[in-house]
Chain A
Amino acid sequence: QSALTQPASVSGSPGQSITISCTGTSSDVGSYNLVSWYQQHPGKAPKLMIYEGSKRPSGVSNRFSGSKSGNTASLTISGLQAEDEADYYCCSYAGSSTFEGVVFGGGTKLTVL
């Protein structure tokens, strides 16, 4: 099972919007609407920001949104704030004749300028 592909880093200024992509295959992102996104600050456990592609858990700001097109999922953060600076990971359920489980992306470091 190959990891999902994310850009290593993205950056934006306060108030701007940024988008992080997450590219998989037809065995994971492309076949299931089961992509999750996590935010992780240094030394902390990951925090779920988006699940099932576009749903937000209670308490997560509506500045965070998720979408998917084909084999690529995306996380958009609007109105960037300093506290959004963190690592972001995508994750998808994956199922094929040879593997059934979960795959993560390599992570994207978001810098708020």
Chain B
Amino acid sequence: EVQLVESGGGLVQPGGSLRLSCAASGFTFSSYWMHWVRQAPGKGLVWVSRINSDGSSTSYADSVKGRFTISRDNAKNTLYLQMNSLRAEDTAVYYCARDRSGSPGRWWGQGTLVTVSS
């Protein structure tokens, strides 16, 4: 059974950093692109970033470019999102998702909440 489990969320002050993890199981992680998608409280889904299967290619939304870094460790079946210079508007539930045809596909994690506040 495919499972994606996010962790690492929490409360952080503006300007601070946080690293999210997404542990994958039930499929050959190294064969799939992966995405991060976020959802601010009461708001819609917003794509954040994606990484290709071997980690050699990444892409970011303009709103996080230069502050967030997506990476993966295929030996550990884990996807990461390093978030620096956090702002209040980064407050959201962050989901990891397996790719399907260039977009988030069928498999999503349960999400991890990041709150940026002083």
Contact = CB atoms under 8 A, between A and B. Distances in A.
Interface of A: 1, 32, 34, 36, 38, 40, 45-48, 51-52, 57, 87, 89, 91-93, 99-107
A99 B49 CA distance: 12
Nearest to A58: B106
Given A45-B108, A102-B47, A93 B102 contact: yes
Nearest to A106: B44
Given A1-B61, A34-B103, A103-B47, 6 more contacts: A38-B104, A57-B106, A100-B59, A101-B59, A102-B102, A107-B44
26 contacts: A1-B62, A32-B102, A36-B100, A36-B104, A36-B105, A38-B45, A45-B95, A45-B109, A45-B111, A46-B37, A46-B45, A46-B104, A46-B108, A51-B103, A51-B105, A93-B101, A99-B62, A101-B49, A101-B50, A101-B59, A102-B50, A102-B104, A103-B47, A104-B46, A104-B47, A106-B44
Nearest to A52: B101
Contacts, number: 71
Contacts of A89: 44-45
Interface residues of B, number: 24
Contact of A91 (B60, B104, B111): B104
A14 B55 CA distance: 46
B72 interface: no
- The secondary-structure label for the interface of chain A is strand
Contacts of A105: 44
A79 to B, nearest CB: 23
B103 A93 contact: yes
A102 B60 CA distance: 9
Contacts of A104: 37, 44-47
A100 B57 CA distance: 11
Nearest to B93: A45
Interface string B72-110: 000000000000000000000001000011111110111
